[in-house]
A = this chain, B = another copy of it.
Amino acid sequence: MRLVKVVGSITSTIKDPSLEGFKILLVQCLQTDLKSREEYFVAVDTVGMGEGEIGLIVTGSTAKRTVRTRKKNVDAALVAKVDNIELEKNGQS
């Protein structure tokens, strides 16, 4: 999984039928100190994420195995909202 922040959303009317009904979010990868990295994914939302929130995405074939994405043609899905990150040395972020 990768630690990401929701930075935007995408609307699309012409798309593969299996993407219908999903909220399509633009997510940015984060460092462990929660600073942004120059790495983005477009992920479908399976847990009700809002913009600015921090979560986890799965990518690759795993993305089409969650309860809500089963047999959907997605390669990135938000699968968890992050409540807290505890770092080894720097204490709680």
From A41, A58, A75, A80, name the one whose CB has the most chain B CB atoms within 10 angstroms.
Answer: A75
One complex includes copies of this chain to the number of 5
Instruction: Report the count of interface residues on A (CB-CB < 8 A).
Output: 59
Residues 11-26 of chain A, each 1 if its beta carbon lies under 8 Å from chain B, else 0: 1111111110000101
Beyond the given A12-B80, A32-B40, could you list 12 further A-B residue pairs with CB under 8 A, ordered by the A residue number? A2-B41, A3-B26, A3-B42, A6-B88, A10-B82, A10-B85, A24-B80, A60-B60, A60-B62, A60-B75, A63-B75, A73-B79
Write the residues of chain A forming the contact surface with B, with a CB cutoff of 8 angstroms: 1-3, 6-19, 24, 26, 28, 31-32, 38, 40-43, 46-48, 51-52, 55-56, 58-67, 73-76, 79-89
